[in-house]
């Protein structure tokens, strides 16, 4: 494993139940720092499982998962939760936000769980709330919406808020799981541009997971899950 790699997976095998069949088996996957990687996979190809492993929510039965030099396969549950809070920002397909918090509160939420991200946000904008406002402004969010409850936003707006939340406190890795599937084509491209721009600005590695090959050209590199996963659904 080299320091150049943010993510390094070797000889990984994962099954949901100890006696069940393996769902994911990857011999080798390495992603370099600052890379923008498109991970292509149809639903059921083990995408979600891979993301869970990278986020440290689950651990493989066999093999090693190194992320930012942390051996996630060997860490305890609390350490993995801590790792995720500090180093990984997530954007999901939809329903990313807590409906009972305002837009601004949703964006600041990761800083409640991670001191490191709180500190970084503070360093960057002299305050967590100011950093949240800065990110939201960069992502073209109207100021008038910041105090609104998250439930009142359109889907496109919700995804931009989710992106700001994934980016706050400059986590080293941003993982986006089909974040644009609910958006139309124009908005999809605009959203991606904003996301990539922000990731580049704060030096985050972007993993973009989707089934849609049309988006491939926008990324540095494509990893087809079907090619690296020895288990085929």
C-beta closer to other proteins: residue 94 or 231: 94
Q: Which of 10, 13, 30, 48 binds other proteins (CB under 8 A)?
A: 48
Which alpha helices (DSSP H) does 88-182 contain, by range?
Answer: 103-113, 115-125, 128-138, 155-167
C-beta closer to other proteins: residue 52 or 189: 52
Say whether residue 129 binds other proteins (CB under 8 A): no
Count the Cβ atoms, other than its own, within 10 Å of residue 151.
11
Say whether residue 18 binds other proteins (CB under 8 A): no
Q: How far is the CB of 84 from other proteins (least distance, A)?
A: 5
Q: How far is the CB of 197 from other proteins (least distance, A)?
A: 23
Q: Does residue 38 contact residue 85 with C-beta atoms inside 8 Å?
A: no
Say whether residue 98 binds other proteins (CB under 8 A): yes
Query: Candidates 21-29, 48-56, 66-74, 203-211 — which segment interacts with other proteins by CB under 8 A?
Result: 48-56
Cβ neighbours of residue 24 closer than 8 Å, sequence gap 6 or more: 12, 13, 14, 46, 49, 50, 53, 60, 229, 231
C-beta closer to other proteins: residue 90 or 208: 90
Say whether residue 86 binds other proteins (CB under 8 A): yes
Which residue is it, tokens 């100021």? 143
**Torsion of the alpha carbons at 211, 66, 106 and 192, rounded to the nearest 10:** -40
Which residue is it, tokens 């070797």? 10
- Give the distance, in angstroms, between the CA of residue 232 and the centroid of all CA atoms in the same chain: 24
Q: How far is the CB of 186 from other proteins (least distance, A)?
A: 26
Q: How far is the CB of 23 from other proteins (least distance, A)?
A: 12
Q: Does residue 118 contact residue 111 with C-beta atoms inside 8 Å?
A: yes
| Closest listed residue to residue 198, CA positions, set 110, 139, 120 | 139
Structure tokens at 137: 């402004």
Say whether residue 63 binds other proteins (CB under 8 A): no
Q: Which of 41, 46, 55, 60 binds other proteins (CB under 8 A)?
A: 55
Which alpha helices (DSSP H) does 4-102 contain, by range?
Answer: 47-55, 77-87
CA 97/CA 107 separation, integer angstroms? 9
Say whether residue 132 binds other proteins (CB under 8 A): no
Structure tokens at 8: 């390094």
Q: Which of 22, 30, 113, 134 binds other proteins (CB under 8 A)?
A: 113
C-beta closer to other proteins: residue 79 or 220: 79
C-beta closer to other proteins: residue 92 or 148: 92
The site for other proteins (CB under 8 A) is made up of 48, 51-52, 55, 57-58, 77-78, 81-82, 84-86, 88, 90, 92, 95-101, 105, 109-110, 112-114, 149, 165
């Amino acid at each position: 494993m080299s320091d150049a790699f943010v993510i390094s997976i070797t000889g990984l095998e994962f099954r949901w139940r100890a006696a069940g069949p393996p769902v994911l088996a990857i011999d080798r996957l390495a992603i370099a720092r600052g890379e923008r990687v498109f991970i292509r996979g149809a639903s059921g190809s083990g995408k979600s499982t891979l993301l869970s492993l990278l986020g440290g929510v689950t651990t493989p039965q066999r093999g090693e998962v190194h992320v930012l030099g942390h051996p996630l396969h060997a860490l305890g549950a609390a350490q993995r939760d801590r790792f995720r809070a500090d180093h990984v920002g997530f954007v999901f397909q939809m329903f990313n936000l807590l409906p009972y918090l305002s837009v601004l509160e949703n964006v600041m939420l990761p800083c409640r769980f991670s001191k490191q991200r709180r500190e970084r946000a503070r360093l960057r904008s002299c305050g967590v709330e100011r950093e949240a406002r800065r990110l939201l402004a960069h992502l073209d969010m109207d100021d008038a919406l910041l105090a609104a409850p998250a439930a009142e936003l359109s889907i496109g707006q919700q995804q931009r808020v989710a992106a700001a939340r994934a980016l706050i406190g400059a986590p080293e890795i941003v993982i986006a799981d089909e974040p644009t599937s609910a958006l139309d084509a124009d908005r999809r491209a605009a959203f991606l541009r904003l996301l990539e721009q922000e990731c580049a600005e704060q030096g985050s590695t972007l993993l973009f997971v989707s089934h849609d090959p049309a988006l491939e050209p926008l990324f540095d590199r494509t990893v087809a899950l079907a090619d690296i996963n020895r288990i085929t659904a």
